[in-house]
């Protein structure tokens, strides 16, 4: 519905952009054999988000739930891609990818996500939140031309946005 105003479109756009970084991260890990899980980095990402959330007046537990969800779904995307590349090596990335290049972007997008949670707080608390999220997910899926893997990931990672 092109004329409907999508309230949460900025937020689902940020979720999609953060999930898109999983491709670059997976490519870097494919090349170097680095494990998908990096608990120390996760703790850093979560601590920074909680701190930013506090400043914005957000409940730490809520920020933690949303960011953990982003991390978990991102890891699922990484594992899916790595499994595909292992199974069909011709599909594996050839362009160089570096964790050191993509992590600052992940940090920035996580900050944008926390800002978005604060900005859209009223909508995210309202009874119609899940419907708003569904509309925004549909719009972002179309505008970002998401493939099925990333469309499913976006829908999954957006559920926790409503509180
Ligand atoms: O930075 C990485 O290595 C990522 O895979 C990204 C990310 C995240 O979503 O922030 C996800 C999984 C890792 O355990 C750490 C962080």
Question: What's the CATH number where 108 sits?
Answer: 1.20.59.10
CB 19 within 8 A of CB 150: yes
The structural domain count of the chain equals 1
Integer CA distances (angstroms), 161 to 4, 63, 90, 97, 141, in order? 20, 9, 37, 30, 17
Q: What are phi and psi of 92, to 5 degrees?
A: -65, 150
pLDDT digits (tens, 9 = 90+) for 72-83: 999 999 999 999
Integer CA distances (angstroms), 40 to 3, 45, 46, 84, 123, in order? 44, 9, 10, 27, 33
CB 49 within 8 A of CB 114: yes
Domain-located, residue 54: yes
Domain-located, residue 3: no
Structural domain including 140 reads 9-161
Given this model, what pLDDT does residue 4 score? 63
Domain-located, residue 138: yes
Given this model, what pLDDT does residue 6 score? 81
Domain-located, residue 137: yes
Domain-located, residue 62: yes
ipTM over 0.85: yes
Given this model, what pLDDT does residue 1 score? 47
pLDDT digits (tens, 9 = 90+) for 12-41: 999 999 999 999 999 999 999 999 999 999
Handedness of CA 122, 128, 129, 132 (dihedral sign): negative
Domain-located, residue 44: yes
Give the residues of the chain that fall short of pLDDT 70: 1-5
Measure the CA–CA gap between 112 and 109, rounded to whole angstroms. 5
Nearest ligand 1 atom to the CA of 70 is: 9
Tell me, in angstroms, the distance from the centre of ligand 1 to residue 128's CA.
Answer: 31
How many CB atoms lie under 10 A from the CB of residue 5? 7
**Runs of H (alpha helix) within the chain:** 9-32, 39-55, 60-87, 99-119, 121-125, 129-143, 148-158
Domain-located, residue 1: no
Domain-located, residue 2: no
Tell me which residues have their CB closer than 6 angstroms to ligand 1.
Answer: 25, 37-38, 41-42, 45, 71, 74-75, 99, 103, 106
Nearest Cα residue to atom 8 of ligand 1:
71
């Amino acid at each position: 519905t092109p004329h409907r105003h999508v309230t949460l479109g900025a937020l689902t756009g940020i979720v999609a952009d953060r999930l898109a970084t999983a491709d670059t991260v997976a490519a870097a890990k494919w090349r170097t054999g680095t494990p998908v899980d990096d608990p120390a980095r996760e703790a850093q990402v979560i601590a920074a988000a909680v701190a930013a959330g506090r400043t914005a007046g957000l409940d730490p537990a809520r920020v933690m739930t949303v960011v953990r969800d982003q991390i978990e779904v991102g890891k699922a995307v990484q594992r899916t891609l790595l499994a595909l590349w292992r199974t069909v090596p011709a599909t594996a990335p050839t362009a160089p990818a570096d964790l050191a290049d993509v992590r600052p972007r992940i940090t920035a997008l996580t900050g944008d996500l926390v800002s978005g949670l604060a900005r859209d707080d009223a909508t995210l608390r309202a009874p119609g939140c899940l419907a708003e999220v569904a509309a925004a997910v549909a719009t972002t899926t179309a505008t970002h031309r998401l493939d099925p893997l990333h469309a499913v990931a976006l829908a999954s990672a957006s559920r926790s946005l409503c509180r």
